[in-house]
Amino acid sequence: MAAPVLELTDARLRYGDRELWSGLDLQVRAGEFLAVIGPNGTGKTSLLRAILGQVTLTSGRIELLGQPVGRGNDRIGYVPQQKPLDQGTPIRARDLVAFGVNGRRWGLPHLSPAERRRVDEALDAVGATAYAKAPVASLSGGEQQRVRIAQSVVGNPALLLCDEPLLSLDLAHQRAVSELIDEQRRRIDTAVVFVTHDVNPILGMVDRVLYLAGGQFRVGTPDEVLRSEVLSEMYGTTVDVFHSRGRIIVVGGPEGSEAHAHHIDEEKHA
Ligand SMILES: Nc1ncnc2c1ncn2[C@@H]1O[C@H](COP(=O)(O)OP(=O)(O)OP(=O)(O)O)[C@@H](O)[C@H]1O
């Protein structure tokens, strides 16, 4: 079997006295789609930042394609949690996507005709062709998000890290963007790690789930992890998981547990 694209071994992350997770062993294979789910503050973004080499594990190892991870790896595509681009950012949407080609992120890249075609295809796939020449800062939050997603896939990364990439997208664009990511991993075997608070929009694509809650984690297929017994054990209280018309609805949680209640509410109202 091929070596994993991403491998975490006995990974532990602690900020001061606060331990987010420990004993985390995880392998993500080429072409695999892993969803990372869990309430606010459980360390999902921190996990992505550790993979990017932006935070250092307290102990344990993270390897990408058999090498320890470090900053600035051009085999990784990254869609950060959304923040609006600075109004002063003068570049056009198309240029932002072009920075993602071959990891050339600094300075305006000179692209070959084939690379230019790839940029056009990526813009088209996220429905951003109409505003490709507009300054990115002038675009709406959802439009900017689509441009970022085009940038993250255009360099054909070995690993694609997405932090809540569907937030602020309408349903049609949620579908277009998730299908683009799915198509990318099928076409060139990109491994995908996709942080989300709602698994439903991507349920049909997900191979495995990493569920983080209360310092614990579970890894398995959605059917193995998203079950009442498993979530009740993790949360230490009764949690019900219902399946309805191809969707998973999680209900329950401890009184006064803001993070959990918030998570459950969002799932319920999604
Ligand atoms: N550099 C840091 N130093 C200290 N604490 C931090 C740092 N980065 C994050 N934290 C804390 O670690 C916890 C986990 O943060 P993180 O952003 O990884 O959670 P998350 O699961 O992605 O949350 P959300 O769903 O709200 O995005 C939070 O309580 C956060 O305040």
Tens digits of per-residue pLDDT, 203-214? 999 999 999 988
CA of 118 to the centre of ligand 1 (A): 35
Per the CB < 8 A criterion, the answer to whether 221 and 35 are in contact is: no
Q: Which residue has the higher pLDDT, 255 or 47?
A: 47
Asked if the model's pLDDT at residue 137 lies above 70, the reply is yes
- CB of 41 within 6 A of ligand 1: the answer is yes
Predicted ipTM > 0.90: yes
Alpha-carbon gap, residue 83 to 58, rounded angstroms: 28
Q: Is 82 in the pocket of ligand 1 (CB under 6 A)?
A: no
**What is the residue with the minimal CA distance to atom 30 of ligand 1?**
41
The preferred substitution site among 12, 13, 15 for testing ligand 1, maximizing ligand atoms within 8 Å of CB, is 15
Predicted local confidence at residue 257, as pLDDT: 35
CATH number of 1-75+157-222: 3.40.50.300
DSSP reduced 3-state for 26: strand
Q: Which residue has the higher pLDDT, 86 or 162?
A: 162
Q: Could you give the CA distance from residue 101 to residue 57 in angstroms, rounded to a whole number?
A: 29
The CB of 42 under 6 Å from ligand 1? The reply is: yes
Global pTM exceeds 0.90: no
Domain boundaries, the chain: 1-75+157-222, 85-155
Name the residue type at position 252: G
Q: What is the DSSP letter of 145?
A: H
CA atoms of 229 and 72, how far apart (whole Å):
40
pLDDT of 108: 64
**Mean of pLDDT values over 69-97:** 83
Provide the 10 A C-beta neighbour count for residue 68. 9
pLDDT in tens, 152-187: 999 889 999 999 999 878 888 888 889 889 988 998
Q: What confidence category does residue 125 fall into, taking pLDDT thresholds of 50, 70 and 90?
A: confident
